[in-house]
Amino acid sequence: MDNALLYLLLLIALGIGFALGRRERRQSQVAQPPKDYRLGLGRLLDDSEDVDVDAWLNATPVADASADTLFALGALLRRRGQVDQAIRVHQRVLSEPEVSRTHKDRAELELGQDYFSAGLLDRAERLFSRIADDSGPLQESALSHLVQIYERERDWPEAIAAGRRLAKFDKTVRHRLAHYCCELAELSLANHDLRECRRTLQRALDLDPSCGRAELLLADTEMAAGQLKLALKHLERVRQKAPWLASQTLSRVRKACIELADDRGYVAYLERCLPDAAVPGVIEELAEERRRQDGEEAAFAFLIEHLKSKPGAEGLARALRRRSSITGDELEGVRQVLDRMAEGSSDYRCTDCGFSGNALLWQCPSCHTWSSVRPTAQ
């Protein structure tokens, strides 16, 4: 009896030991990925260019537990410009039957970004559209990417439609949508469809009441319609809403005032612009008005007075140019030096990324931000 009990306890102990051994071996297998996987991962993290992604994927256990790692590595490959390899990573996740629907949706989103980076916009659009139509947690991201695609394709109606859906999650997109409306309005204005132009610009102002570009285009629309007084009202709103755009209004205000025989109105407008910083052209125009009214000495005196309140190389060069026209070549050498100093400077700079140029651009060509390229000098 005692021997039988002893044998039974021995068998139970052997069984428990065997089970614990198998459990430890399983844990060891999970904790120690295949050698090819570890080597491939190390090369990827070391920026190696000679990684065989297909071989590495075959050695990689693809499951929900490893999906986030694969997404991170796919994004890393995409940032490096190895888009074809990133595509293979995300396609592998999609092809794995054991991966959950949640992770497959994420893989589709990542794959759409791969296609976008590769310039395959039609494929990216299809993936993002499917995700955007599903009211899941990735809808906002998919809509944001769709807006980028339509913006790149300059498909403004589609960009506006997708952007309005995105605005439910992100109100800041309304600023971009207003510019999309302005792009459409410019097409209508070029076709002399003034009614459609007004309607589209009103949509722009509904989306972003502070949109100075929309007010500027409304001024152009009313000038095309011969409604000069109404155009002047819109130009005044440009100055109030976006003082940095005032330089774009000067020729328009002057033209309207000349046609209305209101010379004083133009000077008054210039004087209202004067306190605002970085409005190119205002000082020159006011100096020219002083010259027309009271002569070169009055124009020079005005420039010197302004220079006292806002000193700078550009302002000094402006004054010297005016003085040289009075005294001849007396100060011409100094003016030329100042002009050479200003040659390397730019009239406009992006407030977001620092891109610089000599022309106003509604969208920065570097960072693609709207209304960020602004004047740098007075």
pLDDT of residue 289: 76
pLDDT of residue 50: 53
pLDDT of residue 291: 75
> What is the C-alpha separation between 155 and 152, in angstroms, rounded?
8
Rounded to the nearest 5 degrees, what angle is found at the Cα of 352, between the Cα atoms of 175 and 365?
Answer: 80
Query: What does the pLDDT profile of the chain (378 residues) look like in tens digits?
Result: 445 544 444 445 444 444 544 554 454 444 344 444 444 454 555 555 555 666 666 666 677 777 888 888 889 899 989 999 999 999 989 988 888 999 999 999 999 999 999 999 999 999 999 999 998 899 999 999 999 999 999 999 999 999 999 999 999 999 999 999 999 999 999 999 999 999 999 999 999 999 999 999 999 999 999 999 999 999 999 999 998 898 899 999 999 999 999 988 988 998 888 776 556 677 777 777 777 777 777 766 766 666 656 655 455 455 556 555 545 555 554 445 445 545 556 678 999 998 988 888 999 999 999 999 988 864
* End-to-end CA separation in angstroms for the chain: 108
Q: Where do the H-state alpha helices sit in the chain?
A: 2-31, 35-45, 53-58, 64-79, 83-95, 101-117, 121-133, 139-152, 156-166, 173-190, 194-207, 212-224, 228-241, 246-259, 263-273, 282-294, 296-309, 313-327, 332-343
> What is the C-alpha separation between 40 and 60, in angstroms, rounded?
10
Q: Return the amino acid letter for 368.
A: H
Closest C-alpha to 159, from 138, 143, 137: 143
The DSSP call for residue 245 is: G
pLDDT of residue 378: 46
Q: Return the amino acid letter for 314.
A: E
